[in-house]
Amino acid sequence: MSGGVVVSQLGGPEVLEWVEYDPGDPGPHDVRVRHTAVGLNFIDVYHRTGLYPQALPFTPGVEGAGVVEAVGSEVHDLAVGARVAYTSNGPIGSYCEVRVMPRARVVELPDEISEETAAAMMVKGCTVEYLVRRTYAVQPGDNVLLTAAAGGVGLIACQWLRALGANVIGTVGTPEKGELATANGCNHVILYREENISERVAEITDGEGCRVAYDSVGASTFEASLHSLSRRGMLVTFGNASGPVEPISPLLLAKHRSLFLTRPRLADHYATPEETREGIEALFDMVRSGSVEPYIGARYPLRDVAEAHRALEARETVGSTVLVV
């Protein structure tokens, strides 16, 4: 028997319940993975609360890393003992010790990347990959606004954008988070609780604004991000940490100098095996080159995931949080 977390009713962190279960044997095209580390992501909160509905009961979690302990009869390219990781382009369920999943969902880890590092970056790093390479291809010298710059996605984005030669303007909640964002490549820090975001962006960019704004916060920062853009700039809203954004009129985009607005998902950028391989390889290349080094701000035992959720929702975390199995 193995252990894992199950949500039987929607609600706060208290609904995350530890249970024992039999993970079963892999089918012909499956592998059974024993997790050593699991990533914590804000989408886990959305699943737990019902913002992104799931059929009850369910096991949360969208990314993990570990060791293959059994393979199906038709799996010939992955051996028992291989170190693997996966991102969120498939069924949820990583909050567990052992799980069976399709071979196509997992990727073998290179020697240079630990399982804990992989768990800290698969979803966050692949999110940054598609945001800065495919949603809007950032160019050297671009002014870029990044909300939650000291978060898990934010710190990886700061590093990746620095490598691309962008001028990164990051919003953070505290001076300490600002120092962390700066150390990871953020050129200018805005303390959103004390400063007006769009006014500070105008000062920093001499009134030009930003070519792109990557906004993971949602409702509370959407308007400021919109007002921070240059002519024909793009607002990429990819998260709802403060709640979902209310509907807007397309005319608003015209009013603010012919803006672009998009709400992308990782699943639509990693929809095919080819896209998935390309995106993950780009991430691994950035890590191997030293341009990206995921920052792990906290570690919790998997059984204590409720405490990790409370800290994440209270915005007490920085960088990535890893659940240790």
Q: Is there a contact between 196 and 204 (Cβ–Cβ < 8 Å)?
A: no
* Average pLDDT along the chain: 96
- What is this structure's pTM? 0.93
d(CA 222, CA 294): 26
Is residue 273 over pLDDT 90?
A: no
Residue type, 162: R
pLDDT value, residue 90: 75
Strands 320-324 and 30-39: antiparallel
Torsion sign (Cα): 122, 125, 129, 135: positive
Length of the chain: 325
CA 294, 297, 303, 305 dihedral sign is negative
Percent over 90 (pLDDT), the chain: 96
With 90 as the cut, is the pLDDT of residue 6 above it? yes
Give the tens place of pLDDT for each residue, 19-43.
999 999 999 999 999 999 999 999 9
pLDDT tens-digit map of 118-141: 999 999 999 999 999 999 999 999
Q: Are 164 and 132 in contact (CB under 8 A)?
A: yes
Task: For the chain, give the percent of residues with pLDDT over 70.
Answer: 100
Q: Phi first, then psi: what are they for 250, rounded to 5°?
A: -55, -25
Model confidence pLDDT, tens digit, residues 298-323: 999 999 999 999 999 998 999 999 99
| Average pLDDT for 67-76 | 98
Q: Which domains does the chain have, with CATH numbers?
A: 2-121+267-324 (3.90.180.10), 140-263 (3.40.50.720)
- Which residues lie closer than 8 Å to 285 by C-beta, 6 or more apart? none
